[in-house]
Chains A and B, each alone.
Chain A
Amino acid sequence: MSQNFSIGDRVRVRAAYPPGHVRTPYYTRGKEGVVMGLAAVMANAETLAYGADGKPDIPIYRVSFPQTQLWPDYAGDPSDTAVVDIYEHWLVAAGGSKT
């Protein structure tokens, strides 16, 4: 299937808080990062967990977040990052421009 994002795209994780088997960590919600690459195209774990077939498959991206973006009081080196695998339906384009 086609993918909505490519390497270098700036994305924002939706600040949504649905119940259920959600694979998007809280600490990334509403945060901006950069797509490092496509991790996989896989069945949707959020529906698969409840007996559905998880179709259609969804692209999962490796999204890189600066630690200083995730934690405003981050005390480590400003170059530190966290890379999180995030399903496409959790991502929206951020900032408008590609880096």
Chain B
Amino acid sequence: MSDHPQPHPFQPDIEDSPFTRYQVMAESVIELLTEKGVFSADDMRRTLERIDAITPAQGSRAVARAWVDEAFRARLLDNVNAATAELGIDAGPIPIRAVENTADVHNVIVCTLCSCYPRMLLGLPPDWYKSRAYRSSVVREPRAVLEAFGTHIPDGVEVRVHDSTAELRYMVIPMRPAGTTDLDEAGLAELVSRDAMIGTAVI
């Protein structure tokens, strides 16, 4: 043991790395639009707070309703934005498509080109969803990625990866677990995790 303890390793602060080109562009556009009066700094703050406040609980409510109400399930599969509006949820202007897990098909969502995600329904995506590691491997070896999440999909069940490359966002309707007949809709919603609606988990 040394008499002189080693200094704690220096951990850089976020500001220690230079702004990237895209950060500079984003900041510049915000400043210009604010200066020109297109929106105010307060509008910007309110919008960010509204987006930050969205949680996966909105999606969970929709899934739980689909589990207990067959007609709602059909409407959700037909048009997520319209169906969730029935529950008082504003899913935003971008069309969201629900894909349903069955005994034969397990769905999982990715955006290989960037990080498209149903934010208006599920909130901000987890960091790993935006990582190059997830985006490149889940479409290449989805079963290995699912195993890394502790999710085993048996052979014979089709793993269907949805790459949301264009104008749609996707969400997964997981299968309702067995032994939940005594749960009410609110209790069911608590079972529906964010990752189950991405498809990296099953319930």
**Sampled A-B contacts (28; CB under 8 Å):** A25-B112, A25-B139, A25-B163, A27-B140, A39-B168, A40-B95, A40-B167, A42-B167, A60-B167, A64-B160, A71-B140, A75-B143, A76-B143, A77-B156, A77-B159, A80-B142, A80-B159, A80-B161, A81-B158, A82-B160, A83-B161, A83-B162, A84-B162, A85-B164, A85-B166, A85-B168, A86-B166, A87-B166
Q: Is A24 an interface residue (CB 8 A)?
A: yes
Additional pairs, 12, CB under 8 Å, beyond known A60-B168, A75-B143: A25-B112, A25-B139, A39-B168, A40-B168, A45-B167, A67-B161, A79-B158, A80-B142, A82-B163, A83-B162, A83-B163, A85-B167
| B138, closest chain A residue (CB) | A82
Chain B residues near A71: list those with CB within 8 A: 140
Contact A45 B166 (CB under 8 A): yes
Instruction: Give the interface size class of chain B.
Output: 20 to 34
- In the assembled complex, the Cα of A54 lies from the Cα of B155 at a distance in Å of 43
Report the minimum CB–CB distance from A69 to chain B (whole Å). 13
Chain B residues near A23: list those with CB within 8 A: 113, 165-166
Q: Is B44 an interface residue (CB 8 A)?
A: no
| B131-142 near A? 1/0 per residue, CB < 8 Å | 000000001111
Report the minimum CB–CB distance from A14 to chain B (whole Å). 15
Number of A-B contacts (CB under 8 A): 79
Q: Could you list which residues of chain A lie within 8 angstroms of chain B, going by C-beta atoms?
A: 23-25, 27, 39-40, 42, 45, 60, 64, 67, 70-71, 74-77, 79-87
Contact A42 B166 (CB under 8 A): yes
Report the minimum CB–CB distance from A33 to chain B (whole Å). 12
Contact B158 A77 (CB under 8 A): yes
Select which of B113, B140, B155, B167 is within 8 A of A77 by beta carbon. Answer: B155
